[in-house]
Amino acid sequence: MALKRSPAFGNRVFYLTVCLMLGALAGCAEVQVRTLPAPPPTSKLRVFVQAISEPGRWRMPPEEFAKRVPKLVGEVLVETGIYEVPSIEDSKSILTDTRPLTRWDWAKKDWELARSVGRGLHADYAIIVSRSRHKGYIFWEMTFLNVATGKKYTSVSRTSFQHYLGPEDYANIFKIKYREIFREAKNDMLATAMQKSHVAHLITPVKSAPGPAPVAEKPKSIPPEKVASVPSRPSSAPSSSQIARPPVQEKPLAASPKEIKEAKALPAHSVTEQPKSTDAGKVPSVPAPPTPAPPPKQISTPVVKEEPLPKVSKEMEEAPEGLAGVPVLDMEKILTAETKPDSRKRLAVYDLETAEPLKVVGLILSEALREELIRLGHFALVNRENLVQVLKEIELQMTGLVDEKQAVKVGKGLAANQIVMGRYGALGKTAVLQAKRVDVESQGTLAMASLKCSQGQEDELLGQMAELARRLAGGK
């Protein structure tokens, strides 16, 4: 005997089917993106940050996560001096769709939505931070995406769901994940920074060029053909070897004619080292600054952890389907690791001094040098943020620290035993990076090394950075 279904049951099935279809269509609908007015030109890398939560029960509500995380990540990025970050309000205002967006929305079609938002914000890169739950763990994914080329770099880590994460833990997570991404993306970032420095070099002389203005005429503005020749953002980020940048004359770190002559005589892409000084107490005479600042008081500064970051073992490497096969950092072990006594020499690495249009390029090279010195494991590196903090206290800038005696005073304030300082600039058509390691107590030069390459091929400096760090660390 066949059971008869009531008309009401059929209506419910019909309405349910319609709702499911409408939901599916809404999910497939393209998110419209507005375009904001272009910001002022800058050599810094512009990065927008988006935070998303996958469905689940969260101690920190998704709405709060979406507000707090971009702010924390933005602080980490801005502190490096390499980046500028659009405001959260700007990032939200360009999206016409107000519904919550999932990781799938951002990642589908090769992260097309993330790239569209990046173009609307005139950003060079996008950072998408997502959290998801899987088998008792929280998985943290940070994706660093080149808006122009679509190339992406990913760092994945996990913590147990029971592990409480406070604001300080969140900040530490993003610092660690940023370092992991920087190691992989530094060549891409350098190529983008080189292109932006080339544009900045073209714009600066146009604005400052003094041209005779006809009588009773308004001052000349930038000619349209000049403006048209400087795109607001590249359609793609070519490698730095393809960029023909006009030479920027820079005096080398070695100020004497003899040392300049020796620097010019170096073979291309070579690394040279100055032997350890036999008389560390003698230093070249350096004129004292007109108004010397008092030495800063010593402050307790944490040391960068240089041990290899622990990965999740293969038998425990269980990740959500979208992250399958991706190496996973055991973030809980990193965050809860006990601080061990460290008997190594404390080393403070200053940013390389360079010309303003090349400032971001110099910062990327400085960060790469720090990473290579960390990998060597010979020194306990002072955190850059603590170095910046002390410099702010005595009203100095990282890239303006040209006086060696002042640098030594700051090193003492950081309780550092040694410092590394240097310069990146140009000699004719050759780009030169010079650096030296100085003992804080005796002010003697312990090691000196340099790199050089043809201008426009600065990516080769990154390839030689490990050797530069090894030469600087010689003799420890």
Predicted pLDDT of residue 207: 40
- pLDDT band, very low/low/confident/very high, at 59 (cuts 50, 70, 90): confident
pLDDT digit string, tens, across residues 396-417: 655 445 578 888 888 888 888 9
Which whole number is the average pLDDT over 333-342? 64
Domains, the chain, with CATH or none? 32-206+220-238+306-341 (no CATH), 247-277+299-303+342-472 (3.40.50.10610)
**Residue-averaged pLDDT of the chain:** 75
Q: Answer whether residue 121 shows pLDDT above 50.
A: yes
More confident residue, 382 or 291: 382
The alpha carbon of 437 is separated from its chain's Cα centroid by a whole number of angstroms, namely 24
Half-sphere exposure of 21 (CA within 13 A, CB side): 6
- β-pairing verdict for 345-349 and 379-381: parallel
Q: In this predicted model, what pLDDT tens digit does every residue of 82-99 receive, in sequence order?
A: 999 999 889 888 988 778
How many other C-beta atoms lie within 10 A of the C-beta of residue 63?
10
Phi-psi region of 86 (alpha: psi -120 to 50; beta: other; left: phi over 0): beta
User: In terms of pLDDT, which residue wins out, 208 or 175?
Assistant: 175
Mean of pLDDT values over 427-435: 91
What are the tens digits of pLDDT across the range 438-471?
A: 999 999 999 999 999 998 888 899 999 999 999 9
Which of the pair, 339 or 332, is modelled with greater confidence?
332
Average pLDDT over residues 197-208: 53
Residue 327 and residue 156 in contact, taking contact as beta carbons nearer than 8 Å: yes
